[in-house]
């Protein structure tokens, strides 16, 4: 039976609401609910939705908006200021976690490209989970919130570089094409974005900023426009969206755009994570359960002490260092995105399933460790529940 787009949306968003309620009751991140829904009703489950390709393409828009909003939070002046403790911790931890992911995949016989992609996926901690489990007071006022957000932002920048390299590797010519892409295409996109904001966007916003609908449409159009330019110059859509965000980060309405685009971003991200779940084949997952479980357990066990040791080396207190480690002790939505961007051309289905499965397991395990031990809006204990 053919299922139209309206019926597909009904199944996805009704099912997502039901599983999200269950996830909230069990103190789980909503990302997991969306992925599990894709597994259940997708082509490898009950097959209520058998063609998830269109939904995956639509869901990719959510990733563009996600990176657009990341760029909006990273004005050039802020990028220059992110030095010292956070950079050293982020870079050193990234090297450790890359080595862990690479070693596990190589041990189980995956080729070096797959091991490198998996190792890169292990570098990141979940921005969504890390921010959601921080109490509002910690997010805005406490030193621990500053450390968590700084580390996540630097990891976001590393993710941008990784996406750029993957996009280049998928073009003909491999490493040579990647280098030429970075040297030629990226400056062109950045220059167009800078000039477009200075001589186009800012004058329009200055004249018509009282019209909220116009500001919203202009921001969406700008994001998709620079993303399209990036794609036509053989960069990824996501890189263009990030550049579009950075180009607007210094504008006085950056915060307004951020707040108003979040619901739209979340709508498309539900579709993206659903499509990730729909692509997971339980039969294949059974074949790779051992590397998946081992990778997940090693990451959950290694990330907190690694972050703690590095932060202690930077003279942070033991309590702060330990808490930051647990709050960042998981893989990330960017781990899923890397596998999505790599596609069948760079990574096998088995390797992709290892990364996807390990990511979901780390999100599950890490969220429980945080809500049982530290203050959060969904903490198990009433004494720890804060917002």
State pLDDT tens for residues 280-291: 888 999 999 999
| CB 151 within 8 Å of CB 94 | no
Q: Which residue has the higher pLDDT, 27 or 324?
A: 324
> So what's the pLDDT on residue 334?
87
> So what's the pLDDT on residue 354?
96
pLDDT at residue 180 is higher than 80: no
Average pLDDT estimate for 136-163 = 77
> So what's the pLDDT on residue 308?
95
> So what's the pLDDT on residue 333?
86
pLDDT at residue 1 is higher than 80: no
pLDDT at residue 182 is higher than 80: no
Please tell me the least confidently modeled range out of 226-230, 235-239, 299-303, 366-370. Answer: 235-239
| Residue among 58, 176, 138 at smallest CA distance from 320 | 138
Taking the CA of residue 68 as centre, how many other CA atoms within 13 Å lie in the half-sphere pointing to its CB? 31
Tokens 């498309």, residue located: 268
| Residue among 299, 309, 236 at smallest CA distance from 98 | 299
Which stretch of DSSP H or E encloses residue 299? helix 289-313
> So what's the pLDDT on residue 13?
94
User: For residue 141, what pLDDT band results from cuts at 50, 70 and 90?
Assistant: very low
β-strand partners of 153: none
Q: How many domains does the chain have?
A: 1
| Residue among 242, 243, 186, 248 at smallest CA distance from 65 | 242
> So what's the pLDDT on residue 385?
66
Residue 55 located in a structural domain = no
Taking the C-alpha atoms of residue 260 and residue 272, their distance in angstroms, rounded to an integer, is 20
Structural domain including 150 reads: 67-270+281-373
Residue 138 located in a structural domain = yes
> So what's the pLDDT on residue 345?
76
Residue 34 located in a structural domain = no
- Condensed to tens digits (0 to 9), the pLDDT of residues 265-279 reads 888 888 888 888 888
Average pLDDT estimate for 17-33 = 87
User: For residue 337, what pLDDT band results from cuts at 50, 70 and 90?
Assistant: confident
- Residues in Cβ contact with 80 at an 8 Å cutoff, skipping those fewer than 6 apart: none
pLDDT at residue 383 is higher than 80: no
- Condensed to tens digits (0 to 9), the pLDDT of residues 32-85 reads 899 999 999 988 888 888 776 676 777 778 888 888 888 887 777 666 665 556
Q: Which residue has the higher pLDDT, 242 or 137?
A: 242
CA 131 to chain centre: 12
> So what's the pLDDT on residue 138?
55
Task: Provide the terminal-to-terminal Cα distance of the chain, rounded to the nearest Å.
Answer: 46
Give, in order, the Cα–Cα distances in Å from 196 to each of 29, 70, 173, 225: 38, 19, 31, 11
pLDDT at residue 167 is higher than 50: yes
Q: Is the pTM of this model over 0.95?
A: no
Residue 43 located in a structural domain = no
pLDDT at residue 381 is higher than 90: no
| Residue among 302, 304, 353 at smallest CA distance from 326 | 304
Percentage of the chain modeled with pLDDT above 90: 38
Please tell me the least confidently modeled range out of 67-81, 89-103, 213-227. Answer: 67-81
> So what's the pLDDT on residue 378?
67
- CATH number, domain with residue 308: 1.20.1530.20
> So what's the pLDDT on residue 288?
96
Residue 243 located in a structural domain = yes
Query: What long-range pairs does 209-213 form, CB within 8 A, spacing at least 24?
Result: 209/253, 212/260
pLDDT at residue 207 is higher than 80: yes
Average pLDDT estimate for 203-209 = 86
Q: How confident is the prediction for the chain on average, in pLDDT?
A: 85
Residue 102 located in a structural domain = yes
DSSP string, 222-234: HHHHHHHHHHHTT
| CB 72 within 8 Å of CB 258 | yes
Residue 17 located in a structural domain = no
Please tell me the least confidently modeled range out of 246-250, 251-255, 317-321. Answer: 251-255
Residue 46 located in a structural domain = no
pLDDT at residue 100 is higher than 90: yes
């Amino acid at each position: 039976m053919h299922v139209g787009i309206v019926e597909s949306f009904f199944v996805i968003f009704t099912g997502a609401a039901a599983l999200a309620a269950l996830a909230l009751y069990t103190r789980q991140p909503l990302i997991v609910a969306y992925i599990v829904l894709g597994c259940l009703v997708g082509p490898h489950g009950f097959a209520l939705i058998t063609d998830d390709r269109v939904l995956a393409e639509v869901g990719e828009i959510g990733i563009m908006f996600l990176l657009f909003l990341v760029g909006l939070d990273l004005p050039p002046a802020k990028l220059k200021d992110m030095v010292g403790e956070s950079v050293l911790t982020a870079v050193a931890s990234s090297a450790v976690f890359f080595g862990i992911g690479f070693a596990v995949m190589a041990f189980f016989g995956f080729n070096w490209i797959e091991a490198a992609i998996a190792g890169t996926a292990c570098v990141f901690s979940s921005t969504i989970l890390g921010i959601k489990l921080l109490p509002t007071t910690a997010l805005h006022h406490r030193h621990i919130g500053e450390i968590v957000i700084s580390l996540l932002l630097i990891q976001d920048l590393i993710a941008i570089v990784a996406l750029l390299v993957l996009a280049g590797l998928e073009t003909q010519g491999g490493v040579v094409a990647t280098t030429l892409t970075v040297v030629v295409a990226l400056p062109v996109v950045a220059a167009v974005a800078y000039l477009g904001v200075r001589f186009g966007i800012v004058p329009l916003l200055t004249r018509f900023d009282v019209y909220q609908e116009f500001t919203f449409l202009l921001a969406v159009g700008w994001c998709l426009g620079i993303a399209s330019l990036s794609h036509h110059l053989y960069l990824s859509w996501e890189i263009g969206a990030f550049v579009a965000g950075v180009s607007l980060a210094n504008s006085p309405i950056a915060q307004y755009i951020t707040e108003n685009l979040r619901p739209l971003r979340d709508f498309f991200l539900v579709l993206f994570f659903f499509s990730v779940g729909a692509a997971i084949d339980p039969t294949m997952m059974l074949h790779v359960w051992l590397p998946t479980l081992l990778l997940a357990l090693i990451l959950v066990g290694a990330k907190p002490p690694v972050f703690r040791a590095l932060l202690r080396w930077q003279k942070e207190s033991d309590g702060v260092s330990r808490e930051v480690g647990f709050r960042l002790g998981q893989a990330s939505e960017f781990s899923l995105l890397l596998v999505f961007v790599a596609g069948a051309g760079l990574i096998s289905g088995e390797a992709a399933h290892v990364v996807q499965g390990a990511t979901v397991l780390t999100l599950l395990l890490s969220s429980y460790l945080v809500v049982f031990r530290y203050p959060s809006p969904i903490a198990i204990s009433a004494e720890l529940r804060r917002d």
